[in-house]
Structure 1
Amino acid sequence: MKRIENYSDYREFLRDFYQDRKKRLPIFSYRYFCIKAGIKSPTLFKEIVDGSRNLTS
């Protein structure tokens, strides 16, 4: 995985981060990540990563 400052697209970073963690920790999932990060909707988070939804302020 590249260093975070080498990413210009947050979605690419999140995808790479997810894949890297999934390889190291089989229990890792979008739901697991969202629980740990305090994000209420794993579905919304996955849609953001996949590009079908955008982050909003």
Structure 2
Amino acid sequence: MRVLISGAGVAGPVLAYWLVRHGLSVTVVERSPELRKSGGHAVDLFRPAVDLPRCRL
């Protein structure tokens, strides 16, 4: 199976790694021509990086 991943931020390459390990053919595309020195999404392993409103479903 061939998979296309859009985005080479944090999640794209990690997902590609695991999919390749499971035998899939993966292509990652990224719009930015080079690595970013700032921006992107906040990642915090110890608490929420961004507070989100809690909603009851």
TM range (shorter): 0.3 to 0.5
State TM-score, norm by structure 1.
0.35
* TM-score of the aligned structures, taking structure 2 as reference length: 0.35
Whose relative contact order is higher, 1 or 2, with alpha carbons under 8 Å and at least 6 apart? 2
Structure with greater Cα Rg: 2
Higher fraction of helix = 1
